[in-house]
């Protein structure tokens, strides 16, 4: 269909057009801004970039022009309700208001489904499954980054398996790791404490846009496969030590061992000499012991400084707060 026609729908029939949708048009949204931007700059490509619209109708009838065949003709769709694509319709309408000449050039795919002679629950099921099946999570777009494949190939030469696509089998932990561990490691290795805080609270934010920071800060040409594997090995030693604490202790120490794990890893990375990460060999038993000792020491320091600085704050809230985490790290490093 012409995008112009869809804009007219919005003008004439909104919000009734979306009465069966799970949500109305969300005005301030990155996705919707992207739709509008495409209509403004590349309207001819809109058909290829957009998933389209799904609409339900109480019936679809063909007008008698051209005979009874239903492959082509003029069709009348009654009681149209958009059940998937409200953001597309609303964005087209907004774009048409500001850039009418550009929107005139765009076309959009639309699927009309007749509910005539269908069971009562069919409409609800269509709405539910259209909005839940094959949903794309933020991390899926990481697969489009060529740097991930480069890192994978570098590690393959060292017989280390690295998986970054959803659906790939999780490798043997002894000789492999996945995107999740890679992201945690790279985030905690950054000088800015904010990365360790974000990876603890909302790791998905770090995968949000593979074309700009924070993702580009974590994964770029400078990231070396061997170096990344070393970071992951250290991460695992820290996690194993903190798991021991969680099993053997209770109360406050157990709580801090759970909540402050990313900040502890950040401090361990800072404490190790930089040349430690450039050696591609696996960790030695002596190095593992040293990292375990550092982990215990930093856990104690974090507990002590948290009590001094924020005596009334709950640990879970402390380690979601960038400013508080920065204060704790500064105290410990000083």
Write out pLDDT tens, residues 15-56. Answer: 889 888 777 787 777 788 999 999 999 999 999 999 999 999
Compute CA distances 22 → 26, 28, 89, 138, 308, whole Å.
12, 17, 14, 21, 48
State pLDDT tens for residues 208-221.
Answer: 889 999 999 999 99
pTM value surpassing 0.85: no
Q: How confident is the model at residue 131 (pLDDT cuts 50, 70, 90)?
A: confident
Tokens linked to 65: 């022009």
290 against 209, higher pLDDT = 290
Tokens linked to 175: 């000789």
Q: How confident is the model at residue 65 (pLDDT cuts 50, 70, 90)?
A: confident
Three-state DSSP string of 194-228: HHHHHHHHCHHHHHCCCCCCCHHHHCCCCCCHHHH
């Amino acid at each position: 269909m012409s995008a112009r026609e869809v804009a007219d729908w919005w003008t004439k029939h909104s919000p009734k057009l979306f009465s069966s949708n799970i949500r109305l048009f969300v005005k301030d949204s990155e996705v919707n801004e992207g739709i509008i931007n495409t209509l403004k700059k590349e309207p001819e490509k809109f058909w290829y970039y957009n998933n389209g619209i799904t609409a339900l109708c109480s019936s679809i009838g063909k007008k008698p022009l051209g005979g009874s065949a239903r492959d082509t003709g003029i069709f009348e769709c009654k009681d149209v309700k958009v059940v998937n694509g409200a953001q597309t319709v609303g964005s087209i309408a907004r774009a048409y208001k500001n850039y009418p000449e550009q929107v005139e050039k765009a076309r959009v795919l639309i699927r009309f489904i007749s509910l005539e002679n269908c069971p009562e629950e069919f409409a609800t099921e269509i709405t539910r499954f259209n909005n839940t099946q094959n949903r794309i999570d933020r991390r899926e777009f990481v697969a489009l980054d060529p740097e991930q494949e480069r890192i994978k190939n570098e590690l393959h030469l060292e017989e280390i398996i690295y998986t970054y696509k959803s659906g790939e089998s999780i490798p043997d932990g002894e000789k492999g790791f996945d995107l999740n561990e890679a992201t945690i490691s790279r985030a905690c290795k950054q000088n800015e404490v904010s990365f360790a805080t974000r990876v603890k609270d909302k790791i998905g934010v770090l995968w949000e846009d593979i074309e700009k920071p924070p993702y580009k800060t974590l994964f770029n040409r400078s990231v070396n496969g061997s170096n990344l594997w070393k970071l992951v090995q250290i991460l695992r030693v820290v996690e194993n030590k903190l798991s021991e604490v969680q099993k053997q202790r209770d109360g406050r120490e157990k709580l801090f061992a759970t909540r402050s794990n990313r900040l502890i890893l950040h401090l361990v990375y800072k404490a190790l000499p930089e040349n430690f990460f450039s050696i591609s060999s696996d960790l030695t038993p002596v190095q593992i012991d040293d990292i375990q000792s550092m982990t215990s020491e930093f856990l104690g320091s974090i507990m002590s400084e948290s009590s001094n600085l924020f005596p009334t704050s709950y640990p879970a809230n402390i380690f979601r707060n960038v400013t508080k985490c920065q204060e704790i790290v500064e105290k410990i490093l000083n």
